[in-house]
Amino acid sequence: MKTTEGYLAAAVALFLLLSLFFPGLARAADPSPDQGLENCPTLAQLGFEEKEIWDDSGKRLGKGEADDVLARTPDPLEGWNRFWFQFNDKLYFYLFKPVAKGYSYVLPEKPRTWVQNFFHNLLFPVRLVNCILQGKLRSAGAETSKFIANTTFGACGLSDFANHLEPTAPTPTGEEDLGQTLGVWGFGNGVYLVWPIIGPSSIRDSVGFVGDRFLDPVTYVTPWYNSVAITAYSKINKLSLELGQYEDLKEGAIDPYAAFRDAYLRNREKKIRE
């Protein structure tokens, strides 16, 4: 008798432990309130249908298969995340945007593109290592040729002329980072996170972000405040070329926080698929 109770307790403990790591399990065990509607015979009569034949990448979905990154990525820290989302929003409109605007007033677009190309070229180690870690050897090769060509003939990467040279065979993008590599290896997002200044992320992508910094040459600039200043400058320069994009995305949103969470997670998912 005692042993059965022991087994039961062990089973419950195991289930609780598992559901902690795989939130999907708990949801599967708990019948969703929508299930009654699914069997409702009047659904077709009402002309209501929401099942898709293809997923967002155009892949044919099997029966009952609905793999949704949003359902897989819980947001238990929503209050905390919403706070930082608001914080970043204010920071953008009242600090970064005016600075980037002033900067773009002083410096014409052309030199700003050179600066952008230079910093992009500098991040070549991040792309190369992550291409290799994902087994994308052709892309790794393409990134290497681009880096060599842009660094030598492109004046230390100021010009990105190699971007216009088509590879001889179709080559998947080499824009890889460690977050994507971890995703390819099968790591889930964990939970959704919003960081101050950095913005939307997840546990997996945060780990990736920190890991990638080891391959970013700017990290090794000393003293540390010079490194921070260079990073800040490259970000402001990048922003000056992308002014209005954030506003465009935010403009149509009823709940901007939810809209950006959805967009971030789905866009990352697409990058991991590629």
* Sites of contact with another protein (CB under 8 A): 34, 37, 43, 46, 48, 50, 52-54, 56-58, 70, 93-94, 97-98, 160, 163, 247-248, 250-255, 258-259, 261-263, 266-267, 269-271, 273
Q: How far is the CB of 228 from another protein (least distance, A)?
A: 25
Sequence-ordered list of residues with C-beta below 8 angstroms from that of 272, at least 6 positions apart, any chain:
180, 183, 184
Q: Which is nearer to another protein, 129 or 265 (CB)?
A: 265
Q: Which is nearer to another protein, 31 or 58 (CB)?
A: 58
193, β-bridge pairs: 201
Q: How far is the CB of 77 from another protein (least distance, A)?
A: 15
Q: How far is the CB of 257 from another protein (least distance, A)?
A: 9
Q: How far is the CB of 247 from another protein (least distance, A)?
A: 5
Q: Which is nearer to another protein, 98 or 196 (CB)?
A: 98
Q: How far is the CB of 144 from another protein (least distance, A)?
A: 21
Q: Which is nearer to another protein, 211 or 256 (CB)?
A: 256
Q: Which is nearer to another protein, 27 or 270 (CB)?
A: 270
CA 106 – CA 101 distance, rounded (Å): 9
Please, what is the Cα angle at 113 between 110 and 114, to 5 degrees? 90
CA 141 – CA 151 distance, rounded (Å): 15
Q: Which is nearer to another protein, 36 or 223 (CB)?
A: 36
Residue 223: is the preceding peptide bond cis (ω within 30°)?
yes
Q: Within 13 Å of residue 141, how many CA atoms lie on the same side as its CB?
A: 9
Sequence-distant contacts of 71-74: CB under 8 A, at least 24 apart: 71/24, 72/24, 72/188, 72/189, 73/188, 73/189, 73/190, 73/191, 73/192, 73/202, 73/265, 74/23, 74/191, 74/192
Q: How far is the CB of 49 from another protein (least distance, A)?
A: 8
Q: Within 13 Å of residue 80, how many CA atoms lie on the same side as its CB?
A: 9
CA 256 to chain centre: 17
